[in-house]
Amino acid sequence: MNEDIKQKIEIALNSMRPFLEADGGNVELVDVTDDMEVKLRLLGNCSNCSMSSMTMKAGIESGIKNALPEVRKVTAVE
């Protein structure tokens, strides 16, 4: 995983973490594939929340793609 890309993703995630933490959750960067797919793990309350897919698409994926337009896809992994 390219450290520069990883650092930029972490910066983007850090800007969103307060909102996740307010609901008792968090997010962890698991991997960035060669074809620019970001794999994340939702933690805490976010891991089993009924709104987690909306949080991932509308919030987290959007924030990461705004910071790094070269990201092709953001997916949640177990």
| CA atoms of 18 and 8, how far apart (whole Å) | 17
SS3 of residue 48 by DSSP: helix
pLDDT digits (tens, 9 = 90+) for 22-68: 989 999 999 999 999 999 999 998 888 888 888 887 889 999 999 99
Total-model pTM: 0.88
Q: In what order do the strands lie in the sheet with 73-76?
A: 25-32, 37-44, 73-76
Burial of 13 from C-beta contacts in 10 A (0-12 / 13-18 / 19+): buried
pLDDT digits (tens, 9 = 90+) for 61-71: 999 999 999 99
Report the CATH architecture of 3-76.
Answer: 2-Layer Sandwich (3.30)
